[in-house]
Structure 1
Amino acid sequence: MSLFVKLDNKKIQQLRLQHCWSQEELAVTAGLSIRTIQRVEKNGNASLETSKALAAVFELTPAQLQQQSTIEHVAFHFLVKYGWIAAFAISSILFGLWIVDILIPTLKGANFDAQYELHGNFRYLDFGGISFVIGFVWLSINVFVDFQTRKKQLSSSTSSI
């Protein structure tokens, strides 16, 4: 379970203004630091404790303060996050087809070039290799982005202490 939640920063700012509170007044009322209120209103990052404190002040549930994601956003995020699995699966299928359609018959005595001609000169290894490289780069980018996000969250949480 994550230690951080993404709050709807516009909603929190709007609720604060509806109560005619300054950031400092909201901080005192919620028992939080003014820096925490500034961070939440700026980017929506908050700890679970901050989320609960703000929800109590505004007489809402913590879930009502969280940023709502549309199903399109969630689906797109899922594809971006886990699309590398599809790239690796495609490369595995292509490598497997190359073994079955080209390598095994060649090892049994068939002509290597004739096997490629039989399958329309489709280059399984070329497309499998390209798919593998795409999957590897995709996975590397995801790992890097996750690392940077966690590093940023950690630095913002330690600066509010």
Structure 2
Amino acid sequence: MDISAEKLKRFRLLSNLSQELLAKQSGLSLRTIQRLEREGGGSAESLHALCATLNISAEQLQHNADPVQARWQRTTVISRLLLFIIAITALLGLMGQASGSSLYIYLDMMSLIIITSFLTLSTLVCFGFNGLVNAVTGLKYLASSQLYQQQATRDLVKLYSYIYKNCYGAAATGSLIGLVSLFNIYAASANTSQFFAGLHVLTILWLYAAVVAECLLRPLIYKLKNAID
């Protein structure tokens, strides 16, 4: 059962109970009370025991299903959008200079498909369809001026932190598969140019993963964590 750590502590203090007294009156161990106030969660039995002791309903002790509340200001949204455009323009300019004014070497549809598919499937497996929807719609909070709703914000931090790590997991997985294929092709044909062309594709895979993780997800995670603090 999804017991709210914040609510449990608040109701315990309102009842003038210490953790030791709450544990004794509810029949739960002190370690369980400490864990629930730190992490939340818990079983149905723990929820019912705490509700009976604190004389509250189960709904009062569980997390709210409310989404993150954000304050939107036109100046903030426009400024964030302009900063994003400037950053992307500068990045593309640097990439063009590094490649002799040609950006085509950075375009690889297969790498994009690998990254997108891996992140989509892994998020679906671990967080379900609602988690995937929250991951996509939550990107809008990059442009908000202020965020509210502590628990929902924490949930987004966990979600995006998982996806952040999976960006590099997708690149690593794609690279391993690609290397096996490249070595098999090279062993059969000894074509050096084809081998190095394949390595270029694997490099692009890591570039895409880094752009998504560092330019999009890391700033969003930082913003959400600041809202919690």
TM-score by length of 2: 0.34
Bigger CA radius of gyration: 1
